Structure 1
Amino acid sequence: PALPRPRFFCNPNEALQADAQRFAQLVDLPHLSQEQVGWVRDKTTMKDRYAELGIPHARYRAVTTKQDVVAFGEESGWPVILKPVDADSCIGTYRLDTPADVAGVADLDPELQWMAEEYIKGQEFQLCAVVARGVVLDAYLSKNPVPILEVLDGKINANITYAPSEEIPVDARELAQRLTDGLGIPHGYLHGEFFLKEDGSFVMSEVAARLSGCEVPMNHGLAYGFDFLHVILDTYLDRVPHPRYTSDRAVGDLLLPTRPGRVTHISSAQELLRLPGVIGAHLTAAVGDVLDPPRASHASTGYVHVEGATAAEVEERMHAVLRHFELTVAETGEGPAS
């Protein structure tokens, strides 16, 4: 007998968003329009949409040369963020403090589309939401101990979901619904990032219609005590789930540091699990491995999940993990490098 015709579609891959949604359209499956794909994939088109919706965002401009970047910086102020319009994980993204910094980066790849953007100084947050039939069922807020771009300079690389009972600095559900309405998201997972500046003002960063990166979805499930991925899957099947929460704690994922070289020593998962608050450990590197990490926010030698009563306690415990964690590498054929 013939197999039943598929009726539902889910694309979790950021880079394939345009092709995947076009495929779904061609085979008459639920999909985002190409205009919607632009809103959640192309960072200039995304911010054009923010402007139409009245959502605060950084000043920005499409650029094709380093001279364009300098001109933007001179007009809008320094520092400036330079990045491809469709990049993720901070790949190809740079903070440039002066025209001299611009001169120090490679010429812009003409095969890519680039943008210059105002640098926003403040606390960065991650917003995730469950959307069913255009309605946000619930939203979950995480904080980043430092802005994501700064992890490329070796700072702590982590996402921490607030405990359900914690007071949070924004109305996460209202914000998620505003984005859902403005982008026409019918169902699934809405992910966004925003800043709160030192004066408390709100600046929307980026938004996506797919699962968040790293272990953020798992953090939500562990913090609230429910099967988060199952709930998300239900929405893609045109169901309206009713999540039941069984836990009230903050949980975060801490990416473990990496550096280039051959691994001669690395802390074990077993010793990391003995540290306060660590409830899970996953290492991706072992003695003998040769590491060549990319310049990207997801680069690591693994991660740990850390719990606490509050997001602040989780962050304190993460710093303790970093003080304990050891990674020693050697240059190929030579003695220890670090």
Structure 2
Amino acid sequence: MFNQRNANDDRYLLVLGADILLRERAIVSALRTYPGQVLGMAPTPDGQNRFFDDVLRADYYNAEDALAAVKRYELETGLRPAAVVPIIEMTVHVSVAISQHYGLPSLSEEAVGLSRDKHTMKAAFEAAGVPCARHRTFSTLADLREVSEELTFPLVLKPRDFAGNTGTIKVDSPDGLPAAYDHCRDELLAIAPLYDFSDGRFQAEEFVRSTHEVSVEVLNYGDQRAVLAVTDKSKLPAPHFTEIGQLVPSRESDNDAVRDLGIKACEALGITRGIAHVEILVNGADLSVVEVAARPGGDGIMDLIDRVYGFSPYDLHYASYLNTLDELPKIPREPRGIGAIRFLKAPVGTITAVNAVEQFTDEELALYVTAKAGDRSHTASSYLTRDGVMEFFRPGAKAAADPVAFQKAVAELAAFRTKAVFTVAEEGDSR
């Protein structure tokens, strides 16, 4: 039967942030699950994604600009959004602003405020009995020196308003505070114009000792919540703890304490819509929540879940925003295999060549090189210093039973590929 999508319907699904690397399958899910038109948003024509039915011309980091574009589109076409769904961190507040104008389901402003500000987030955790690091806020170096006297070293400094390890740095003693403050502030100011961030919004936390870190993807639908999956994170050591990979299923996938804490963290912040990404430090039975983002986990985690468990988390994310779930479905727990994402980092120096890979193993699904010849490769300190990414998958329940071994194999293969792909004139990093 000829299946014609209803182009005359007066509603469309607006997706914010699915055009970014490793979020693109959110577009696939939207086109598969929504019966009408699916729209994106971009500030310029060169940012338009050809997979959308249409692209609104606006900055999807700016709520006022984005709402104005949706209103203009309604005047021009008569079409209104059926739901406005955030895929990345900095579009959550924008989705709320547009949704509130049109009376659509969305997160509350209070939930957005709690989940976007690391200080109010941890205050909410403390009030709800969710374990987390002791912290203090600061604006200047003088403030930092003062609040550090109320905390126990080592400390971790970070901006209050952003994710992706940007500005994060460990400091072991009071002598290290000036240099650590400069790093934290400089990295924030480098991206502040793009996201309209304010200077002087920083946080110092007591360092929490752990053996590893996981993330829990939680589906929220009103007062109903369910864990979709648990992910093992690969991170570089101090001082920046830069994330370099993700793996599903986690060694903690069947740990009920981890899963329950992910749900409790979402409850503490009042997250009632869509997928939330909960990061947890694990040290035996001791757990500590790092932070929660009120949107799907990035770094290809949704794709890993899809590959390993056979369902798309994005389908459920959209259904929550569209109010099309009668109740939460039963989430598959038996893995079909094990999957991983690993980010490539060229040695510090100037990249003089990016070399092609002639043959891949069966477990290597994709290689995306984001750096190019002539680029300067800096010390890995955040997502901004990545030079490429690889995707891996090994089928079979037996493979999924040993995440640690697979993680090691992935790390070795990614290191081998990094050395082959990048030719670098190595030199000291001036940053």
Aligned ranges for residues 1-338 of structure 1 at < 5 Å? 3-4=10-11, 5-105=80-180, 111-122=199-210, 123-146=212-235, 150=238, 152=240, 157-162=244-249, 168-197=254-283, 200-240=285-325, 242=329, 245=332, 247-259=335-347, 261-266=349-354, 268-271=356-359, 273-274=360-361, 277-286=363-372, 288-291=373-376, 295-297=381-383, 299-308=385-394, 309=399, 310-325=402-417, 326=419, 327-330=422-425
Letter in 1 for 2:270: G
TM-score, normalised relative to structure 2: 0.67
CA distance in 1, matches of 2:206, 2:252: 31
Provide the identity percentage: 22
The question of whether the paired residues in 2 share the 8 Å contact of 1:253 and 1:303 is answered with yes
Q: Secondary structure at the match of 1:9?
A: strand
Higher share of residues assigned helix? 2
Q: Secondary structure at the match of 2:214?
A: strand
CA distance in 2, matches of 1:182, 1:227: 26
Letter in 1 for 2:217: C
Per-residue CA deviation, residues 33-88 of structure 1 (Å, 9 max, x unaligned), is: 22111111000000111011111110001112223323333332111111111121
Q: Secondary structure at the match of 2:299?
A: coil
CA distance in 1, matches of 2:252, 2:280: 19
Q: Secondary structure at the match of 1:324?
A: helix
The question of whether the paired residues in 2 share the 8 Å contact of 1:257 and 1:301 is answered with yes
The question of whether the paired residues in 1 share the 8 Å contact of 2:344 and 2:388 is answered with yes
- More contact order relative to length (CA 8 Å, sep ≥ 6): 1
CA distance in 2, matches of 1:72, 1:244: 44
Per-residue CA deviation, residues 102-146 of structure 1 (Å, 9 max, x unaligned), is: 122455577231111111121211111223343224331111233
Letter in 1 for 2:337: R
CA distance in 2, matches of 1:48, 1:177: 17
Per-residue CA deviation, residues 216-243 of structure 1 (Å, 9 max, x unaligned), is: 1111111112233223222222123647
Give unmatched runs, 5+ long, in structure 2.
1-7, 12-79, 190-197
Number of matched pairs: 325
